[in-house]
């Protein structure tokens, strides 16, 4: 197909200009009369162009077309190779990204477990500290109660002694004489 295009391009490039005949423009020349009459060959450029075309086909093909087509084929192969490599790199990137996401998710889970463990430990410490404080408070309250009970008993004893003394003094004042 590429050779056909190149051949058509060469034919158009070396085409002879159209000549007016009988007052009209002749775009496609009639070459049959020229070929049938050898005396018209020198005035016709067609035969010269045909011979030139046939002579130039092989060198142009060897010097221009084959290297150009080889370069284009090599370029296509490199582009395809680059596309394959890009697809491989994309697949590797996807794999690495999925591994990264899995590692992040695993780290999140571990962090959540550690946070829950720390929270449970803190709650346990809180319960233990509250129990110790409650025990200490109950001990302090018991000690205070026993201290208050002892002080109350001592105060009652003191009041009883003082009340007897006061009662005797009051009675001796009322009676006007000392009680024995």
- Domain ranges across the chain: 2-97
- Residue segments in the chain with a per-residue pLDDT below the cut of 70: 1-2, 6, 8-47, 180
Token couple for 43? 């005035």
Check residue 112 and give its pLDDT: 95
Dihedral Cα 162, 165, 171, 176, nearest 10 deg: -130
Check residue 169 and give its pLDDT: 84
Strand blocks (E) in 20-174: 20-21, 24-25
Check residue 98 and give its pLDDT: 94
Phi (first) and psi of residue 152, to 5 degrees: -65, -45
Q: What is the chain's length?
A: 180
- Please report, for residues 13, 60, 127, the alpha-carbon distance to residue 47 in angstroms, rounded to integers and kept in the order given: 15, 19, 114
Check residue 166 and give its pLDDT: 83
């Amino acid at each position: 197909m590429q050779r056909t295009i190149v051949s058509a391009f060469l034919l158009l490039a070396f085409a002879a200009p159209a000549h007016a005949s009988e007052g009209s423009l002749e775009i496609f020349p009639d070459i049959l009369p020229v070929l049938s009459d050898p005396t018209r060959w020198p005035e016709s450029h067609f035969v010269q162009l045909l011979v030139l075309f046939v002579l130039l086909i092989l060198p142009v093909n060897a010097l221009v077309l084959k290297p150009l087509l080889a370069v284009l084929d090599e370029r296509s192969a490199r582009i395809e190779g680059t596309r394959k490599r890009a697809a491989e790199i994309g697949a590797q990137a996807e794999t690495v990204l999925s591994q990264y996401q899995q590692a992040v998710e695993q780290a999140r889970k571990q962090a959540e477990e550690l946070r829950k463990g720390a929270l449970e430990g803190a709650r346990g410490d809180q319960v233990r500290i509250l129990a110790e404080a409650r025990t200490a408070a109950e001990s302090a309250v018991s000690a205070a109660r026993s201290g208050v009970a002892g002080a109350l008993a001592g105060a009652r004893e003191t009041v009883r002694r003082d009340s007897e003394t006061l009662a005797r003094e009051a009675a001796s004042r009322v009676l006007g004489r000392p009680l024995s």
